[in-house]
Amino acid sequence: MKRTHNCNELRPEHIGQTAILCGWVHSRRDLGGVIFIDVRDREGRTQTVFDPSDLTSDVFAQASGLRGESVVRVTGRVRARPEGTRNPKIPTGEVEVLARELEVLNLAEPLPFQIDEPEAAARVNEEMRLQYRYLDLRRPEMARNLRLRHKVATAARVYFDEQGFLEVETPLLFKSTPEGAREFIVPNRREPGTFYALPQSPQQFKQILMVAGVERYYQLARCFRDEDQRADRQLEFTQIDVEMSFVERADIYAMVEGLLKRLWKVALDLEIATPFPQISFAEAMDRFGIDKPDTRFGMELCDLTAEFRGSTFKVFSGAVASGGVVKALNAKGLADATQGQIETMTGIAKSFGAKGLAFIKVEGGEWKSPIVKFFTDANKAALQRLLAIEEGDLILFAADSWLNACEILGKIRLYAADVLKSTGRLSLPPDRFDFLWVIDFPLLSFDKENNRWYSSHHPFTAPVPEDLPLLRTDPRKVRGQHYDCVVNGVELGGGSIRIHRPEIQKTVFEDILQIPSDVARARFGYLLEAFQYGAPPHGGIALGFDRLLAILCGTPSIRDVIAFPKTAKGTCLMTQSPAAVDPKQLRELRLELKVPPKE
RNA sequence: GGGGGUGUAGCUCAAUCGGUUAGAGCGCUGCCCUGUCACGGCAGAGGUUACGGGUUCGAGCCCCGCCACUCCCGCCA
C-alpha cells in the first residue's frame, strides 16, 4: 500500500496504529539527536519524528539529508505527543508518527523561491510564480483557490441540473465572425487559405440549440478573445453560458439570482438578498456615471443644470446653452487632495475632451475655488442643499454633454473612492456584495467616425417590443432587451432576450447595421435559415466565471483563480508559449512568414 | 498603439547628493545541538546591479535605447 492515511487524518484515536504517509517535506527541524519532519499533502500536515535510538543509521542519515519539498513516504507508529509539545496550530497536532522507514520518492533541489512561509511567498514576483507555477500552486492560498473553483463549478452544475438544464458542448473550431472582438484563427490544412476561428463565445451555437429544442442549455464554456489583457481579462477564459426558451427577462433574472444565491452560500456561506435591484442604464449613468455602478458607497452625481443655466460663469452657462448639463459630485472629506491627485482628476476630465476640471475645496469654513466668485447666493444655497456640503469636502464639476459629464464624474468618483480607501477613510466590508441588474440599454450606438450604427450588446439582441416601431424612425431611442449583472462595480456578465424572427434579424443586419445582404448571408445565413424552421422565443446570459471566482476569492486578478494563466503580453512563462513552429508545418498549411522566424 | 510603475545575491529587500571592497533577512553549504514546530548556535559560499550604449575623474544611482513583468487608456459585438 502506498499510503494509509492523508496528512490531515491522524488523531488521538489512531494512537498505536501503524501509518504510512506520503507527501512533501514541508519543514525539517534537525536537532542533531532527533529530527522532526512535517509531511504535507493537499489535506494538511503531520509531524514525523526520526529518533536514532529506534532507527538504522542509514534511515537517520537519509532523513538528515532531505531538503524542503522533497517527496517522501514515511512508515511509522502513531503516538501521542509528549505532554507540553502538542501543537494546537494544526489539526494533527495532538499526535506524531514515530518513523520506522523512510522512502525518498523524489529528492528536491533547492527551490527558486520559498513557499513554506505564506507572507513571504505571497510577495514573490508574479513572473517567478508563473514560471514555476507548480510551486506557486502548492501554496495554501492558491490551493484553496483551485479547490474553491472546483466547488463552485460543481455547485453550478448541480443547480443547473436541478433546474432542468442540459450541459452541451459546442465546437472550439468555429468560423470567423468579424463583428466584435479580434479572434484567434486556425489555418485549415485540408483547404489552404481557409481558416477556423476560436469562438469569442458560443453565442450562435446556443441559439441554434434553442431552435433544436433543447429549451434549457448551459455550459462552462471556454472563450477566446485576441485583445489586450488586464487584471480581469485573459486571452482564454471561462464563462457560465446559459440559454433558455420561452422566457422573458424576469425569468432570466430569477434563474441567475438563484444560481448566485447558491454559489455564494456554497463558497462563502453567505446569504445574498434576492431579487437584485434593477436600475436603468440612464439612471446608472445619471447617478453613478458608469454602466456598472459600485453602490457600496455614496458620492452620487448631482444635476445642477437648472441652477447654472443663466450663470455668469460662461463655462457652465455655455454648456447648458449648447444642450449640455452641469453636474457635480461631493468627494466627501477630500479637501486635502494633493496637487497630484487634482491633476490626475483633471487628466480624467481632459481625456473626455473637457478643457479642465472645476472644483471647490471646503477648508477652514470657506469655499476655496477660482470659480466661486461667479456664483450667486442662490447658486451657493443650491450647492449646499443638493451636495450636503460640509467642512473638508471636495466638490468637482463637469459641464458637458450629458453622457460626457456623467462619464467624467463617474471616473472621478471611483478615483476619489480609491484615494479615500488607501488613506483608510473609506472602508468596505469584505462580505458586502451589492448585486444589481442594469437594464434598458440603448439597442444601438452611433459611430461618428464610420457614420454608422452598431449594436451596443450584439446584433442578436431583441428590441423592447414597444420600441420596435422606432427602429426605422429613431434608432437612438430603441431600448434593447439586454441586461447586465453587476456586483460591487464589477460586470459579472450580461445577456439578452434574442431576436427569434428571421425578418427582424435580417432588418437589424442589413438595414440598421448596414451589413450587405450577401455578407450577412455568408456569416449568419445558417442562423437566419434556422429561424425559418420553428425558432422559439429565447434569451440567455453569460457570466464571467473567472471574475466570479476572483470576487469569491477576494483577489483583484483572475490570474489567481486560473491554474495556468498567461501574462499581460499573452505568453506562458512556464511553457514558453507561443513559440515558432517547424517550417514543415508551415509548408503543410501553405503559409509563408513575412517576418524572420523566431528561434 | 500610448502612458505610468518595477527590475540589485536563489527569494524578499536596502545602499544618503553620483564617491571606499554593493549590504541585511530567508534560503544554500559545512560544523554543533535529543522535543522542535518560522527550532537554535557558529562559520562560509554566493553579484555581468535585466541587457546594450552614453555622460563623468568616478554610474546600481544621470541620459538614450532595448527586453521582461505589471497597472491603466485605446481595444474587449
Would the Cβ of A428 be found within 7 angstroms of any atom in strand B?
A: no
pLDDT tier at A598, thresholds 50, 70, 90:
low
Q: What is the full DSSP assignment across A23-83? A: EEEEEEEE-SS-EEEEEEETTEEEEEEE-GGGS-HHHHHHHHT--TT-EEEEEEEEEEPPT
Would the Cβ of A505 be found within 7 angstroms of any atom in strand B?
A: no
Would the Cβ of A203 be found within 7 angstroms of any atom in strand B?
A: yes
Scanning every strand, the nucleotide with its C1' closest to A87's CA turns out to be B37
Q: What is the full DSSP assignment across A145-208? A: HHHHHHHHHHHHHHHHHHTT-EE----SSB----SSS---EEE-TTSTT-EEE--S-SHHHHHH
Distance A230 CA to B51 C1' (A): 27
Scanning every strand, the nucleotide with its C1' closest to A81's CA turns out to be B35
Predicted local distance difference test score (pLDDT) of residue A597: 66
pLDDT tier at A40, thresholds 50, 70, 90:
very high
pLDDT tier at A355, thresholds 50, 70, 90:
confident
Q: What is the pLDDT of residues A248-272, one digit of tens each?
A: 999 999 999 999 999 999 999 999 9
Task: List Cβ neighbours of A75 (8 Å cut-off, separation of 6 or more).
Answer: A18, A19, A20, A99, A100, A101, A102, A103
CA gyration radius for chain A?
Answer: 30
Distance A288 CA to B4 C1' (A): 26
Q: Which domains does chain A carry? A: 12-106 (2.40.50.140), 143-278+434-562 (3.30.930.10), 297-422 (3.30.1360.30)
Residue A16 has pLDDT above 90, yes or no: yes
Q: What is the full DSSP assignment across A264-325? A: HHHHH-----SSPPEEEHHHHHHHHSSSS--TTS----EE-HHHHTT-S-HHHHHHHHTT-E
What own/partner pairs with CB < 8 Å and gap ≥ 24 does A26-29 have?
Answer: A26/A68, A26/A116, A27/A68, A27/A116, A28/A66, A28/A67, A28/A68
Scanning every strand, the nucleotide with its C1' closest to A127's CA turns out to be B69
Q: How far apart are CA A67 and CA A58, in angstroms?
A: 16
Predicted local distance difference test score (pLDDT) of residue A446: 84
Tell me which residues from 68 to 97 on chain A have a beta carbon below 7 angstroms from nucleic acid strand B: 68, 81-82, 84-87, 89-90, 93, 96
Would the Cβ of A495 be found within 7 angstroms of any atom in strand B?
A: no
Predicted local distance difference test score (pLDDT) of residue A423: 83
Distance A121 CA to B30 C1' (A): 27
ipTM score of the complex? 0.94
User: A435 with A491: CB under 8 angstroms?
Assistant: no
Q: What is the pLDDT of residues A545-596, one digit of tens each?
A: 999 999 999 999 999 999 999 999 999 999 999 999 999 999 999 999 987 7
Predicted local distance difference test score (pLDDT) of residue A41: 95
Scanning every strand, the nucleotide with its C1' closest to A229's CA turns out to be B76
Residue A132 has pLDDT above 70, yes or no: yes
Would the Cβ of A494 be found within 7 angstroms of any atom in strand B?
A: no
Give strand B nucleotides closer than 7 A to any protein Cβ.
1, 10-13, 25-29, 32-40, 68-77
Closest CA to A115 of A89, A133, A102: A133
Would the Cβ of A291 be found within 7 angstroms of any atom in strand B?
A: no
Q: What is the pLDDT of residues A381-414, one digit of tens each?
A: 999 999 999 999 999 999 999 999 999 999 999 9
Predicted local distance difference test score (pLDDT) of residue A338: 84
Q: What is the pLDDT of residues A49-101, one digit of tens each?
A: 999 988 888 899 999 999 999 999 999 999 999 999 999 999 999 999 999 99
Would the Cβ of A456 be found within 7 angstroms of any atom in strand B?
A: yes
Distance A110 CA to B29 C1' (A): 12
- Mean pLDDT, chain A, as a whole number? 94
Tell me which residues from 405 to 424 on chain A have a beta carbon below 7 angstroms from nucleic acid strand B: none
Would the Cβ of A233 be found within 7 angstroms of any atom in strand B?
A: yes
- % of chain A at pLDDT higher than 70: 99
Would the Cβ of A200 be found within 7 angstroms of any atom in strand B?
A: yes
Rounded to an integer, the average pLDDT of A196-217 is 97
What HEC string does A507-550 produce?
A: HHHHHHCCCCHHHHHHHHHHHHHHHHHCCCCEEEEEEEHHHHHH
Q: Which of A162-166, A356-360, A400-404, A449-453 is predicted least confidently?
A: A449-453
Distance A341 CA to B70 C1' (A): 22
Distance A51 CA to B31 C1' (A): 21
> Nearest residue (Cα to C1') for B37?
A87
Would the Cβ of A490 be found within 7 angstroms of any atom in strand B?
A: no
Would the Cβ of A29 be found within 7 angstroms of any atom in strand B?
A: yes
Q: Which of A115-124, A167-176, A309-318, A548-557 is predicted least confidently?
A: A115-124
Which of residues A350 and A186 earns the better pLDDT score? A186
Predicted local distance difference test score (pLDDT) of residue A452: 84
Q: How far apart are CA A507 and CA A512, in angstroms?
A: 7
Rounded to an integer, the average pLDDT of A209-220 is 98
Closest CA to A541 of A479, A496, A489, A486: A496
Would the Cβ of A340 be found within 7 angstroms of any atom in strand B?
A: no
CA angle A155, A161, A164 (to 5 degrees): 145
Distance A351 CA to B73 C1' (A): 9
pTM: 0.95
Would the Cβ of A388 be found within 7 angstroms of any atom in strand B?
A: no
Residue A599 has pLDDT above 60, yes or no: no
